[in-house]
Chains A and B, each alone.
Chain A
Amino acid sequence: MHASTVRSLLVRGMLAGLVAGLFAFAVAYVVGEPPVNGSIAVEEAQAAHEAGAHAGHGAAAAEEPAEEEAVSRDVQSTFGLATGVLVYGVALGGIAALAFSFTLGRVGRFSPRATAALVSAAAFTTVYLVPFLKYPATPPAVGNPDTIGKRTTLFFLMILLSVLLGVAAVIAGRRLAPRLGNWNATLAAGAGFVVVTAVAFAVLPDNDDAVKAGFPAALLWEFRVASLAVQLVMWAVFAVVFGVLAQKALAPRVAAEAPAQVGAPVAG
């Protein structure tokens, strides 16, 4: 019975992730593609400029930018973008559903819907927001190809660290709750998370060469806000959709538990 409950939550998590991915794709296409195209235009203008300076005449420079592309821009900005965002949505939807299965009934007196919202907020914060604050998303053409290995390692390390710190904060909050009360225990655990994260930010190396000097600041800002919007919409939609689906899937369990809890003291 428990295994089938987990199974149905997992299916609903992946479905909610797919729906969230569709919304995120819409935002990425409408808000994200203009700065991506703008960045590629900047790159091509720079490449043409450099080629022109090296060759000394315009003919070579004019033909240079049209480098052979394996996948056209039209495909990249539609099917390619959709593939990336939907796979991300389904994969993280599945993981979030299992995190929800662990969390349900263990973090406090929250309904399935409220637990789904909390898990989604935690996932958005630890998987995207915290790593983004240290190693923000960069548009095409701004990076130094020589440092992609180091930058990728640091980015995934930051995600891992942030998720582990988030889990540790939740466990610490639960341990502190009997002594400090729920409100203060939550504040203390949250403050601990912020402090340790800040120390990690200070200790981990920066990505100074992630953005080329001279890249337009307004375009970079536009791209980063778009990236933030994509993830915010993804997790907000996931929270709402998975909340509804989980609430329905767990209705029999909730009903079975409810009579025993009427008049019971509010604990944790």
Chain B
Amino acid sequence: MAEAVVSAAVSAPSVAVPAPLPVRAVLPWAFFVGLLALIALYFVGAEQGATSLFAGSDVHEWVHDGRHLLGFPCH
């Protein structure tokens, strides 16, 4: 009992937690940024490997080392 009181008194003020951000404030950002980020990641991770939007292999060759070391299948 005494222990619980002490720990509550010590821990409550030390961890200040902000209120959650409303979902409707986050959602548009999440959707749009998620979309852009996935396109960027596609070019780093997969373009001109398994599928190609652009002909040639310049994108593949340019990000080649990063693609391997970040863990994507490259060729």
Tell whether, in the assembled complex, residue B34 and residue A111 are in contact, meaning their CB atoms are under 8 Å apart.
no
Does A122 touch B at the CB level, under 8 Å?
Answer: no
With contacts A70-B58, A131-B71 taken as known, whether A28 is within 8 angstroms of B34 at the C-beta atoms is no
**Nearest Cβ in chain B — how far from A150, in angstroms?**
8
> Per-residue CB proximity of B37-75 to A under 8 Å, as 1/0?
110110111100111000011100111111111111111
**Nearest Cβ in chain B — how far from A154, in angstroms?**
8
- Which of B8, B9, B17, B61 has the most chain A CB within a 10 Å cutoff? B17
Q: Which of A70, A75, A102, A143 contacts B26 (CB 8 A)?
A: A102
The CA-CA distance from A226 to B15 in the complex, in Å, is 37
**Nearest Cβ in chain A — how far from B70, in angstroms?**
6
With contacts A155-B73, A227-B69 taken as known, whether A87 is within 8 angstroms of B62 at the C-beta atoms is no
Does A51 touch B at the CB level, under 8 Å?
Answer: no
Tell whether, in the assembled complex, residue B19 and residue A88 are in contact, meaning their CB atoms are under 8 Å apart.
no
The CA-CA distance from A244 to B12 in the complex, in Å, is 21
Tell whether, in the assembled complex, residue A210 and residue B73 are in contact, meaning their CB atoms are under 8 Å apart.
yes
Tell whether, in the assembled complex, residue A76 and residue B44 are in contact, meaning their CB atoms are under 8 Å apart.
no
Tell whether, in the assembled complex, residue A91 and residue B41 are in contact, meaning their CB atoms are under 8 Å apart.
yes
Q: How many residues of A contact B (CB 8 A)?
A: 77
Does A188 touch B at the CB level, under 8 Å?
Answer: no
> What residues of chain A lie closer than 8 Å to B75, measured between beta carbons?
140, 143, 145, 148
> What residues of chain B lie closer than 8 Å to A193, measured between beta carbons?
none
Q: Which of A243-268 contact B (CB under 8 A)?
A: 250, 253-258, 261-266
Tell whether, in the assembled complex, residue A76 and residue B25 are in contact, meaning their CB atoms are under 8 Å apart.
no
Tell whether, in the assembled complex, residue A152 and residue B49 are in contact, meaning their CB atoms are under 8 Å apart.
yes
> What residues of chain B lie closer than 8 Å to A77, measured between beta carbons?
65
Q: Which of A28, A132, A250 contacts B18 (CB 8 A)?
A: A250
> What residues of chain A lie closer than 8 Å to B61, measured between beta carbons?
69-71, 76, 80
> Which candidate, A56-64, A93-101, A178-186, A195-203, is the interface stretch facing chain B?
A93-101
Does A84 touch B at the CB level, under 8 Å?
Answer: yes
Tell whether, in the assembled complex, residue A253 and residue B18 are in contact, meaning their CB atoms are under 8 Å apart.
yes
> What residues of chain B lie closer than 8 Å to A95, measured between beta carbons?
33-34, 37
Tell whether, in the assembled complex, residue B21 and residue A6 are in contact, meaning their CB atoms are under 8 Å apart.
yes
> What residues of chain B lie closer than 8 Å to A81, measured between beta carbons?
65-66, 69
> What residues of chain B lie closer than 8 Å to A2, measured between beta carbons?
21-22, 25
**Nearest Cβ in chain B — how far from A197, in angstroms?**
17
- Which of A83, A88, A210, A257 has the most chain B CB within a 10 Å cutoff? A88
With contacts A110-B15, A152-B49, A266-B12 taken as known, whether A105 is within 8 angstroms of B20 at the C-beta atoms is yes
The CA-CA distance from A92 to B71 in the complex, in Å, is 14
Does A189 touch B at the CB level, under 8 Å?
Answer: no
Tell whether, in the assembled complex, residue A36 and residue B33 are in contact, meaning their CB atoms are under 8 Å apart.
no
With contacts A84-B63, A128-B71 taken as known, whether A149 is within 8 angstroms of B51 at the C-beta atoms is yes
**Nearest Cβ in chain A — how far from B59, in angstroms?**
10
The CA-CA distance from A104 to B21 in the complex, in Å, is 7
Tell whether, in the assembled complex, residue B33 and residue A28 are in contact, meaning their CB atoms are under 8 Å apart.
no
The CA-CA distance from A76 to B69 in the complex, in Å, is 12
- Identify the closest chain A residue to B24 (Cβ): A2
